[in-house]
Chains A and B, each alone.
Chain A
Amino acid sequence: MTPQATEGSARIATAFVCPFCGLLCDDLPGPDESGDISAWTRKLQALCPKAASGIDALSGAGACDAARIDGGVVAVDAAVAEAARRLGAARRPVIGGLGGDVQAMRAALTLGDRIGARLLHRNQSAAQRNLLAQQSRGGMTTTLAEVRQRAEMLVVVGSDVTRGFPRLFERVLTPDPVFADVAVRRLVLLGAPVPQRLPAGVGVDTVDSGSLDLFESVAVLRACLRGQPSPAMADKIEGLAELARRMAECRYGVIVWAAGDLDVASADLLIEQLHQLVIDLNRETRWAALPLAGNEGDLTANSVATWQTGFPLPIEFAAGRVGYDPFPDYGDADLLVWVGALPGVGSAELSGVSGDTPQIVIGAPSRAVGLATEHVFIPVATPGVSASGHLVRTDGVITLYAPAVQRTALPSAAAILDSIAAALPGVAP
């Protein structure tokens, strides 16, 4: 999916779909006709810090748009051939990172199946909290437009969700919902600070849950809804009892969390309880959960893995079989393929993979920053910026086609992964 090069303007499309968080905002400006990156970044800075820093990171200091083998600049073909050679010799390879579009993930799965690799996303620990909770007990969820038009109460649990999803509330707390009564609409904070980014005029309540932690608070809410709070606790749970009463009276409410930011042990169990709270509320009224996700393409990677193999990540291909291994041990990894077409935070590191494991990094030019020299590096275009590709939005339902808005000579991650698979030893040209 490399973009079509066009003459003239450095800008090749105007419809920018921002790939830098799971919200995939398509209402932010793209580059202007001059293609001036710093002008674009300044415009974005006023609208969304993650969009601005994402664009900034792509062209920042140390970025490298040349392929390298062990520090030496080479042609892309040579780097692909060397990557294939090293993969052919690897016994226990891991394909990690997986920050990219649908097309990159398809290619990573094809390659992984060929070489018997283990695969997981860089953001797996966050994504997996939501996955494990759903695989245990299920849940009831909703999407951004439903929240925008219907929600009369949003309960934010555990963290400032605008840290990872800066424009969430501007997008769902618009002034004129169709079905919700904006006069009663409230944002309720349960164990969460006041969000840094909030549109004017939104009423905010902070729940007093006393000394109770989030597990206990949710348990109390569920008990109150059943009419069974412990009398001994009555004076300690006034704030929660009041919240439970208001939740039960709300016509359509939404519980929001960002799994990666829940600073509790066994967060998947907390999420499971939040889903059960939603299910309890739906006996009489309508509530749904909005488990925020999709940053660094984690929903994209997990969606494609699930439809192709039946399993979300982490998975393992071995001897013509695919298996699901939610708690993998990568201590024996002897080669790490790192796919990072989206310029996410962090470098090519995976927990459990030794830091001195040889790497093949297929990433945005900024991924070269700080990369040790004894690796193969192949720069690739970024979906939504310099390549066109499909990305899955935070609610898991909407897949957007993010067009390239900039010209580049760089190939897509999918094209490189496909080339490596085709160049593996034993494959006829």
Chain B
Amino acid sequence: MSITRLSNAHVIDPARGVDTVTDLWWRDGRIADAPADGHADREIDGNGLVAMAGGIDMHTHIGGGKVNIARMLLPEDHSPVAIAHDDTLVLRSACGHAATPTLTAGYRYALMGYTTCFEPAMLPVNARQAHLEMGDTPIVDHGAYAMLGSDDFLLRLLARNAPQSMINDYVAWTLNASQAIGIKVVNPGGISAFKFNTRSFDLDDVHPHYGVTPRRILQVLARAVHELGVPHPLHVHASNLGAAGNLETTLKTMAAVEGLPLHLTHIQFHSYGTEGEFKFSSGATRIAETVNRSQNISVDIGQIMFGQTVTCSGDSMVQHRNAPMGQPKKWVMMDIECDAGCGVVPFRYRDQSYVNALQWAIGLELFLLVEDPWRIVLTTDHPNGAPFTSYPHLIRLLCDKSFRDEQFAKLHPAAQQMSILPQLKREYTLAEIAIITRAGPARLLGIKDLGHLGAGATADLALYREQADREAMFSAPAWVIKHGEPVVRDGRIVATPRGATHVVRPDFDSAIERELATYFDSHMTQRFDGFAIGDAELCEACNHGGALVVHTCGGQ
């Protein structure tokens, strides 16, 4: 047993309302009360340090087929990365920028103080690969949301008006079989419609084959997730991503679920109006107003940053439409196994592009206009808006109005005319940063022992040197602790433990498996028997012996 005391640190733990200089103790891998005898095996001097729970990225494309296509597609984007480390430690060679390789991703997340990451778009048919890739992502805990909504099996159920209970069974089986922690829907029904040569698909359009609408798909999936008691609400990549005027679709999407919990992801890409000379404007104010008054809605931003990146999305319909705007001029689309699809399009966001400049401003407007930090999460939709390594810069933009103004002044002049950003005086406090980067995501995911520093919590911590320059502060924590043990010291990796996989296991009626077995025989190209990923396979073969953490669903 090993006891650590962190003394005199500025502990910012918004889940418990703590924002003060105090001591913090942990025993082995868990935060603990101070021992009666006051003895610690290890002392960390917390003077000048800000202590937060380890960061949690709830939407980052770190593993799975489309990310790997993106890596393969852009060898020219993989410059070598020097990862500083202890002499006693053998690290693997690292490189990469936008479509980060797994090893680099694990190292760089840890170096930034992040200790948990969630892959947001795991296709059930590609789940094995996603888990294998996450297993090769060192240090960080991980998990994934299984993608439904364009899969033939669900759309057939809807076409024949199957009861909600059967949808629930299918959703629960999917979560179990693919070892996921949540359900994601991407352009509901649209990926399937694209295979039938439909090129745009709004909320109330009717699917050419199944006769169902995106609205109905959203409603049944949101209800299924809710009724199964899955802690994380349905994770929605709404229809019409990236299209001028899509804010109307986004507002209708929020209303469509009639008060059920819903998480709208990378909402920046869904907050566009059609005003102005270029018929492209910010919808941030209207979106934020609706979010502010809708307690059932949470969002993450998907902030863009300027520079080269690559977009990897399940939304093959929209990616195909946007491919001509990509740079460099090469892109990959896939139709996938009557289950889903994907599109990989490199993008180079430029501050002298009117549209890109306004996208940047819209993301920041949303950050500053959404009032409740517990319902907004800091993301760049890595790597779609920007690589996750830009988070410290983004944090400074949120915390430092004058810095924000300096950056704003560099934008395309017409974009400056179309943004209210300079009028928004808000500066995020450190406590608010702690909410949108760890406490909030943990709560939105229903993970009770991450994202806070109360007794019993997993001892995942980031200890930052207090600095006025928040970018510098959040770039290089003095210490990062994973499960009670240091993994980073002053910009050097000192240990590379294996992260755990986080899942949920809602119950279901096994009758759905008999129906699925018949369906696999007649429709798919692999046997039903071999489809589900077993625990031993997940932990031993995919995750190098890493732990499995099962989070309870409501009612369990």
A contact residues vs B (CB 8 Å cutoff): 1, 15, 17, 26-27, 102-103, 106, 109-110, 113-114, 131, 134-146, 148-150, 171-172, 176, 178-179, 251-252, 282, 285-286, 288, 302-304, 306-312, 317, 320-324, 388-390, 392, 395-401
Contact = CB atoms under 8 A, between A and B. Distances in A.
A146 B94 CA distance: 36
B95 A310 contact: yes
A134 B523 contact: no
A400 B332 contact: no
A307 B63 contact: yes
A15 B63 contact: no
Given A146-B335, A399-B129, 7 more contacts: A140-B334, A286-B195, A306-B68, A310-B75, A310-B96, A390-B132, A397-B336
Contact of B73 (A17, A106, A135, A303): A135
B523 A144 contact: no
B330 A144 contact: no
The 7 A-B pairs with the shortest beta carbon distances in the complex, nearest first, are A310-B78, A399-B128, A138-B330, A144-B525, A310-B101, A322-B93, A145-B337
Nearest to B333: A140
A141 B72 contact: no
Contacts of A389: 541
Contacts of A15: 527, 529-530
Contacts of B133: 307
Contacts of B68: 303, 306-307
B527 A26 contact: yes
Contact of A303 (B96, B129, B152, B526): B129
Interface in B292-349: 320, 329-339, 344
Interface residues on B, range: 35 or more
A28 to B, nearest CB: 11
Dominant secondary structure at the A interface: mixed
Interface string B483-520: 00000000000000000000000000000000000000
A400 B530 contact: yes
Contacts of A176: 522
Interface string B522-537: 1111110110010001
24 contacts: A1-B541, A15-B529, A15-B530, A102-B132, A102-B541, A113-B93, A134-B72, A135-B72, A135-B73, A141-B335, A146-B338, A172-B525, A252-B195, A252-B197, A282-B320, A307-B71, A307-B102, A310-B75, A310-B95, A317-B93, A390-B128, A397-B336, A399-B128, A400-B526
Contacts of B123: 397
B541 A401 contact: yes
A100 B334 CA distance: 26
Nearest to B326: A138
Contacts of B197: 251-252, 285-286
A252 B195 CA distance: 8
Nearest to B129: A399
Interface in B26-85: 63, 65, 67-69, 71-73, 75, 78, 80, 82
B136 interface: yes
A103 B544 CA distance: 10
B537 A401 contact: yes
Contacts of A179: 196, 209
B390 interface: no
Contacts of A141: 332-335
A19 to B, nearest CB: 14
Contacts of B78: 310-311, 324
